[in-house]
Amino acid sequence: MSNEYEAPRYGNTDVRVLSVDDLPEVFDLLTSHPDLNLFILGDLENYGTEQPFQDVWGEYTDGILTSVLLRYHDSFVVSQPGPIRPEAFRQIIAEYATAFPPGLMGSGGRHIVASGSEPVIRSIAGSAAEIPQSAAESHNDPESRSRMPLAGTLRTMHFARIDSPEKLPAVSEDRRVRVAGVEDVPRLMKLYESINEFVTHDTQADEIRSSIRAGHRTVAIVEAGDNIVSTASTAAENSRSAMIVGVATHPAYRYRGHARACLSHLCQKLLEQNRILCLFYDNLDAGRLYRQIGFRETDRWAIFSLEP
């Protein structure tokens, strides 16, 4: 996509495709919010700017980098701070969506999403109330596409972080929490498949193995006999932060403190490496557990799914 992209310009603001030479400036900007920017930080550290499945754009205002948009496959992530002129990023996402052949998006196909801090994503998506009707109806206006709202659905969640082990509960020796290896993935998938809330897919096991080998994921587990009965994982690990995902306990082993033990073990390990840990949630019971461990809510996270 980057080879065909023509950067939009709005007054003193312009957006352009970024290269490896721009990364020092990008990291300086993103590390001002290492929690909310952890997906972009992780993808840039792990894959750089030259992969066919990844593009990165920067918004410049008066020649100063002010915001970043990253595409990883069909997922767009917007940095914090967000763009000063959101219509530029809106145009990029809209053009990517309209390039899809008919029928490829939607049920059974690929899904385009944009995620980030809720206020930022709302500004990117836009709303009909913000768009002048004359611009939305005019086919002769070359910038009308960027001013029209994106069509889709918005899901919001609590965003929380922990940067100190102060409140972490101690893990008893008989709990036997350990970090999983690639050889444990088949039993981990068996646990995921036993939980109604989890959606698994055919390539997930290979993706987990690959990310463990690459050092992008850490998985804590509790075992009972030959089975893994509880787990918590990281994703998007980078040198400054990581996201907690995949917190799960087999229904027959719940309410015994296993998930708390996995979380505590995982947090202790990464906090010792001076990394911030983040997560998002919309389950109130899960939120209580996270707060007891020491997570505190700092923002709202949003995922915008584009309609076909």
Q: What is the pLDDT of residue 41?
A: 95
Give the Cα-Cα-Cα angle 273, 41, 178 (nearest 5 degrees).
40
What's the chain's average pLDDT?
Answer: 86
Alpha-carbon distance 16 to 57, whole Å? 5
Instruction: Kindly tell me if the per-residue pLDDT of 182 is higher than 90.
Output: yes
Architecture per CATH, domain 161-300, reads as: 3-Layer(aba) Sandwich (3.40)
Is 0.85 surpassed by the pTM of this model? no
Identity at 147, one-letter amino acid code: R
Alpha-carbon distance 263 to 169, whole Å? 10
Domain ranges within the chain, ordered by starting residue: 2-150, 161-300
> Who has greater pLDDT, 196 or 220?
220
The DSSP-derived string for 79-123 is: -SS--SSHHHHHHHHHHHHHTSPTTSBSTTSB--EEEEEHHHHHH
Work out the pLDDT band at 283, boundaries 50, 70, 90: confident
For residue 21, the tally of other CB atoms under 10 A from its CB is: 8
Q: Does 2-150 match 161-300 in CATH topology?
A: yes
Q: Can you tell me the mean pLDDT for 116-144?
A: 63
Largest interatomic CA distance in the chain = 71
E strand intervals along the chain: 9-10, 13-17, 54-61, 64-72, 75-78, 113-117, 152-162, 177-179, 219-224, 227-235, 241-249, 276-281, 296-306
Residues shown for the chain: 308
Is residue 44 classed exposed, middle or buried when 0-12, 13-18 and 19+ CB atoms within 10 A define those classes?
buried
- Evaluate whether 75 touches 236 at the Cβ level (below 8 Å): no
The DSSP-derived string for 25-40 is: HHHHHHTTSTTTTHHH
Fold annotation for 2-150 = Aminopeptidase (3.40.630)
Work out the pLDDT band at 170, boundaries 50, 70, 90: confident
Work out the pLDDT band at 103, boundaries 50, 70, 90: low
Phi/psi at 257 (nearest 5 deg)? Answer: 85, 10
Residues 29-78: tens digit of each pLDDT: 999 999 999 999 999 998 999 999 999 999 999 899 999 999 999 999 99
> Who has greater pLDDT, 109 or 229?
229
Q: Can you tell me the mean pLDDT for 139-155?
A: 65
Alpha-carbon distance 108 to 8, whole Å? 33
Q: What is the dihedral of CA 299, 29, 48, 208, to 10 degrees?
A: -20
Identify the CA nearest to 72 among candidates 90, 45, 108.
45
Q: Can you tell me the mean pLDDT for 84-98?
A: 89
Q: Give the lowest-confidence range in 80-94, 105-119, 203-217.
A: 105-119
Q: Which residues touch 245 (CB under 8 Å, ≥6 apart)? A: 233, 234, 235, 279
- Evaluate whether 153 touches 115 at the Cβ level (below 8 Å): no
- Evaluate whether 66 touches 60 at the Cβ level (below 8 Å): yes
